[in-house]
Structure 1
Amino acid sequence: MEMLTAIRNSALGLSIFAVITSGAIALTQVSTKERIEINEREQRARALYEIVPKDSIDNSLLEDTVTITAPYLTASEQPVDVFRARRDGQVVTVIIPTTAPDGYTGNINIIVGINADESIAGVRVLSHKETPGLGDKVDLKKSDWVLSFNGQRYEGSNDPSWAVQKDGGRFDQFTGATITPRAIVNATARAIHYFRENKAALMESKPNLTGTE
């Protein structure tokens, strides 16, 4: 009887320990997920205002958004927000999220700022897994390569200069790493194409947007 009691007590103790441990793990996961989401929002906000400085517009980029679903751009069926910058109530720049699915080591998530005149306001990389010392130079913290998009114009699919120099284009590539910059150049072109296809709607207060295929 004493042995059975001891076994029951041990089993009960293990069960309680398992419940407590599971609860602690779940709580840690929730807390970590929330922190990651907060960090991602903060990073996105910084990137947005690097493209369009706060003091140059009269609205909040984070609050003036349009939700779109465009797998052509994002390689996902999940909806994303397009951010709009205004001056005197008029939309002057939109910032479109897009994903380059053909990075060297996976997806590269970027945002592309496009002015009303279709020139590039700026491009920023939000996340990537590119090779340190090579492909990671697309990150502004590593190099100023991404600034080469500022003010550029894309003439469409018949514009051979919208490519890295190795492919006969205008954009530099990194020594030993052509795949990464090529992926971002192509993703930026898709964002511009989407903007042109939906320009009128993006500039309206209540847009009616569709994904481009």
Structure 2
Amino acid sequence: MSRSAILLGLFALIGTGLVALVFTATEERIAESERQFMLRNLHAVVKPELHDNDIFHDMITVIDPQRLGTKNPVPVFRARKNGEPVALAITPIAPDGYVGPIKILVGITFDGTVLGVRVLSHRETPGLGDGIEEKRSDWVFGFNGRSLSNPGSKGWAVRRDGGQFDQFTGATITPRAIVKAVHKALKFYALNRDQLFQKTSLSPTEIHTEITHEEEATHE
């Protein structure tokens, strides 16, 4: 084998190795970025001072298409204080947004009161439906302190539908979808509270903040 052929082979091997290293490093950065994004939102809806466990790793997945808006597993993060359950955060899908599904995060106290709601991802119309983002308006804070009894069942709707939650000027579909999704998440929690805190934790190796094509197809 000629010296030039050996050198070419060596360069190709080094090049392949460098590409693999860059790909691995990029994957790790993306995974860390997603983890930090989720942690920021978890701490927004379940304040760190409320618990002393690692909420990100005290995680299970559940499936309830009727109440959680998707056939896919939905992550649930449990918060505990001195070993006792105090709250959790669940990530249901609002399948009927104006443009498409909306992924949200709902923090719920052990007794079933909403601690906070955040939108993790959406494709709603800028300037109209994007008022669901806390950086755009304070609308999403209207869920704080709510529960299945506050308001009652009829109150869990936008005002245009006779409920107690505001809609946006020129945009009713988006807030309606979020209100329904939060209400259903509370119903799911009420039905499954004890089991949710008893299930064995699962490793959060695949926590995606974007809605997948499979999830989108589920609601077409």
**Interval containing the TM-score (normalised by the shorter chain):** 0.7 to 0.9
From 70, 74, 77, the equivalent of 1:75 is: 70
From 143, 147, 160, the equivalent of 2:141 is: 147
Aligned residue number for residue 103 of structure 2: 109
Alignment-mate amino acid for residue 76 of structure 1: K
Which is bigger in relative contact order (C-alpha 8 A, separation at least 6)?
2
1:144 to partner: Cα distance: 1.2
Please tell me whether residue 128 in structure 1 is matched to residue 125 in structure 2: no
Question: Could you say what the CA RMSD is over the residues aligned between the two structures, in angstroms?
Answer: 2.7
User: Contact 1:97–1:112 at 8 Å: present in 2 too?
Assistant: yes
From 72, 79, 94, the equivalent of 1:85 is: 79
Does the C-alpha gap of structure 1 residues 137 and 88 become closer, same or farther in structure 2, counting only changes over 3 Å? Answer: same
Which of the pair has more CA radius of gyration?
1
From 198, 201, 205, the equivalent of 1:204 is: 198
User: For structure 2, which runs of at least 5 residues remain unmatched after alignment?
Assistant: 1-14, 202-220
Q: What SS is found at the alignment partner of 2:167? A: coil
Does the C-alpha gap of structure 1 residues 29 and 130 become closer, same or farther in structure 2, counting only changes over 3 Å? Answer: farther
Please tell me whether residue 97 in structure 1 is matched to residue 87 in structure 2: no
Q: What SS is found at the alignment partner of 1:49? A: helix
Does the C-alpha gap of structure 1 residues 91 and 40 become closer, same or farther in structure 2, counting only changes over 3 Å? Answer: same
Does the C-alpha gap of structure 1 residues 166 and 36 become closer, same or farther in structure 2, counting only changes over 3 Å? Answer: farther
1:34 to partner: Cα distance: 4.9
User: Contact 2:74–2:92 at 8 Å: present in 1 too?
Assistant: no
TM-score, length of structure 1 as denominator length: 0.77
User: Contact 1:135–1:181 at 8 Å: present in 2 too?
Assistant: yes
* Cα-to-partner distance string for 1:67-123 (whole Å, 9 max, x where unaligned): 22333314133x232101112211111111100111111110001111111111111
Alignment-mate amino acid for residue 195 of structure 2: A
Does the C-alpha gap of structure 1 residues 29 and 68 become closer, same or farther in structure 2, counting only changes over 3 Å? Answer: same
State the aligned residue count: 187
TM-score, length of structure 2 as denominator length: 0.75
Identity level (%):
47
User: For structure 1, which runs of at least 5 residues remain unmatched after alignment?
Assistant: 1-19, 208-213
1:43 to partner: Cα distance: 1.3
Does the C-alpha gap of structure 1 residues 177 and 194 become closer, same or farther in structure 2, counting only changes over 3 Å? Answer: same
